[in-house]
Amino acid sequence: MPAASASGTAPSSERSDLAVDLARFAAGLQAAQLDARVVAAVKTNILDTLACALAGSSAAAIGEVASLVQEWGGAPQAGLLAFGGRYPAHHAAWANAAMAHARDFDDTHDAAILHAGITAVPAALAAAQLRGGLPGDELVASVAAGLEVTCRLGTAIRMDVMRSGFIYTALLGYFGATAAAGRALGLPQAQLRDALGIVYSAVAGNLQVTREASLMKRVLPGMAAQAALVAVQMARKGIHGVQGVFEGDYGFFPLYLRGEAHADAAREDLGRRFELLNLSYKPYASCRNTHSAVDAVLQLRAQAGDGAEVEAVHVGVNQSGYQMVCVPEAVRASPRTVVDAQFSIPYCVAAAWIDGGLRLGHFGPEALQRDEVRALAARVRPHVDEAIERGWGRSITPAHVVLVLRDGRRLEARVDLPRGHPENPMSAAEFAAKAADCASLAVRPLAADTATRLAAAVEGLESLPDVSALVRLLQP
């Protein structure tokens, strides 16, 4: 009997690689086949991702990325959101994806620990414009394909993010963005399969950027979207990609994840059950691993009453969450940069307690200098909660918060599913307020009703004859 491969499956010579299944799914997906729940979820993702891009357009590092795109110039294939102008599709996808992630306000899959829309939506939009005249229902199918590929790959992985050393958003986004772009460009299954094999040569994205609070954290998803646009165009020219993309001897699962991923989990009910329905949306512009703690402390704030003074805040989380948003301890307790603050439970908890919420304005250079927030952040004491680790080790972390008040009271709250999770969803009013806040931060002034018009355009995508109109709506 032949030996199993490192991914725990039969050798690739005896079965087709997962890339075949993913290419077949993406190339053949039709909007008319999607049930109403899936269509609504895809529209929500498109709206949220584009709104986040408007806010991100004015964030640090994005202006420099946009200026490079403008300096390079080239074929006017796809629009640059917020800044305006048309550029080569792969450059537009790069900049648009980077700005969609820049505020860390975009979707998450809480079980897979990744963002999906920031690679799928910009890649699909760029490919749609490259193709020309793509109607809105085709965009829905393309984004659905990209979201589903990214989410399914994420849930197939058994290795914890921190142990892997990779950011799954970027790493898996290369494949999801390729599925989205290939579907929008109209590639047949064989060429889309080649595109997945081509983009595999570019796959990357490491956690060092979060440990050092590098602004490259914002740019990594853009590199995935950019590589996807290059890959699908190479495949369309007839260039063949590797065939053992995921399960080959040196395929993605054995090489990047040391076999701790299960291809069959990604294949199961593909096209019948949609993992994208499990995407969460963020009420706070910070790492999702901070959100349960913020929700818990806001609950306790309401219980404590006005005038309550905090002696200490103890926050229990899982090991992965602790490593991501509590380490290095000194940096997280006293963040000096916006990225430090976005990845800091002490800062997010302190700001939420003092102001009764956590808003976009808390993640700017001036907000980081507030003495009262810094003083309270120093009294926030995160730790690994063994009970949470046992039950939620491979997930966005829950939080068990113990609030010690100076009047002697001790209040406790635990949040397992933070606000925005499918089982604890944001309201329509919250989504509308988020979109309006995001639009107000666009790098160039947009019409006052941009957020409302964007929501209406996305809701009516099926009747939109050309999705280029959606891009023009978000340009000055």
Distance CA 394, CA 423 (A): 18
Per-residue confidence band for 10, with pLDDT thresholds at 50, 70 and 90: very low
Alpha-carbon distances, residue 100 vs 66, 130, 470 (angstroms): 13, 20, 15
Under 8 Å between Cβ of 289 and 317: yes
> Within this chain, do residues 387 and 327 fall inside the same structural domain, yes or no?
yes
> Within this chain, do residues 235 and 251 fall inside the same structural domain, yes or no?
yes
The tens digit of pLDDT for each residue in 363-400 reads 999 999 999 999 999 999 999 999 999 999 999 999 99
N- to C-terminal Cα distance for the chain?
Answer: 64
Q: Domain count of the chain?
A: 2
Q: Give the domain CATH number at 325.
A: 3.30.1330.120
> Within this chain, do residues 190 and 302 fall inside the same structural domain, yes or no?
no
- In degrees and rounded to multiples of 5, residue 287 shows phi and psi of -50, 135
Per-residue confidence band for 2, with pLDDT thresholds at 50, 70 and 90: very low
AA identity, residue 282: K
448 occurs within a structural domain? no
3 pLDDT higher than 60: no
Indicate the pTM of the whole model: 0.94
439 occurs within a structural domain? no
Domain ends where: 415, 432, 465?
Answer: 415
List the domain range (segments joined by +) for residue 275. 12-283+454-473
The tens digit of pLDDT for each residue in 147-181 reads 999 999 999 999 999 999 999 999 999 999 999 99
> Within this chain, do residues 293 and 278 fall inside the same structural domain, yes or no?
no
Bridge partner list, 410: 404
Per-residue confidence band for 441, with pLDDT thresholds at 50, 70 and 90: very high
Q: Is the peptide bond before 328 cis (omega within 30 degrees of 0)?
A: yes
386 occurs within a structural domain? yes
> Within this chain, do residues 163 and 25 fall inside the same structural domain, yes or no?
yes
5 occurs within a structural domain? no
Q: Give me the helices (H) in 280-370, please.
A: 291-304, 319-325, 329-333, 338-342, 345-355
Question: Is 196 strand, coil or helix?
Answer: helix
